[in-house]
Amino acid sequence: MQAIWRQVEQMRASGVLGQLVRFGIAGGISSVVYSLVYLPLTAYAFPPRQAVAAVPFAFAVAVVVGFFLHSRWSFKGHAKEPGAGRHVKFVIVQGSGLALNAVITWIGTALLHLHPWIPLIPAVFLAAIVTFVLNRFWVFN
């Protein structure tokens, strides 16, 4: 147990813990935005087994919100690369999140015939982990 507390203290001292909390809050907001676009599209625009078609639309809106939240709050002051290079890296990272999200949504809805909101939970959770690591170590250094 002491090892865990030492690790948490190291994370706090280095600023990673605060950054992780900010990322979680910003990611939560982006996830809500994603859900607010995705769920109505799956309810009214796309049949349940084709819910994956709603993913790019929802992700595009969430990426815009996420970029502003992460660049101005979660990772503020951490970017070593200004301008377009960072934007391109952010879009690539979000694209990996989009791909992961789409695969999970497709498996859940097309193959397992689940209701469209069910794959949303693991998709958002796993995409958050992957994008945090990539944003922290590649986009915002």
Residue range 76-89, pLDDT digits in tens:
765 565 677 878 88
Number of CB atoms found within 10 A of residue 109's CB? 26
In this prediction, residue 65 carries a pLDDT of: 92
pTM assigned to the model: 0.73
Q: Is the pLDDT of residue 37 over 90?
A: yes
Number of CB atoms found within 10 A of residue 31's CB? 22
pLDDT band at 118 (very low <50, low <70, confident <90, very high): very high
In this prediction, residue 106 carries a pLDDT of: 93
Q: Is the pLDDT of residue 72 over 60?
A: yes
Distance CA 106, CA 66 (A): 23
In this prediction, residue 103 carries a pLDDT of: 95
Q: Is the pLDDT of residue 2 over 60?
A: yes
